[in-house]
Structure 1
């Protein structure tokens, strides 16, 4: 079976759903108190990967624009072409103005001792100063956005 961006997106959404279930059911003391941070960052990563795969799928489904997905990490604001698919233009605007998407694409995985209370890097205490992400809302919004874009792409 040929691997596709759409299939990868679906897989990352599935993994994000599994991590979200784990967040709600796990004991906060697991892994020496680091379980919540490890799971929430894994969930965030899966959401970011799903988002990037969706962007790549949008580009692949609209070859008339002649744009391919760049190497490495990217988001909708990474594209500088004048003529962009309307979905990419919409997402670039949402990355700036939509709280759920902005918190997702601007999530800072790497924490420094200066950014956390008491100079502790690997602790959930540092997460209180991070941009908060409502994971359930973010997952629901992303799934809704993907479904809407896919329905629109079927019209092309």
Structure 2
């Protein structure tokens, strides 16, 4: 996976998630959005290190990856009920093919958990981020409204 688009993906995730939260009235949708924002914020930590915007810190990188794994582990449960809100970015395809959605969510959890256990040096960061970003993109392509 080319890494150049990754900073753009991280920036778009953060910006769109922040804007999407305003005006959400359904508490279940708000909880889902909060979890996704936590994932985006921690992905941004890794992306900023990969771009050189912040200094590489192996402990902080592992902590961010672990946080992504922890938050993504709850995604399937958060989406188990078909809750909607006008501000929701979730597509009905989630509930039409919940098995695939769950599998893709699990792929993110596994990629982030692997990253949390493997990032030791700056050289480990970009492959770890590519795995996390690839899992996010795979799910968003099928199950999130286009931005």
TM-score, normalisation: structure 2:
0.48
Higher RCO by CA contacts (8 Å cutoff, separation 6 or greater)? 2
TM-score, normalisation: structure 1:
0.45
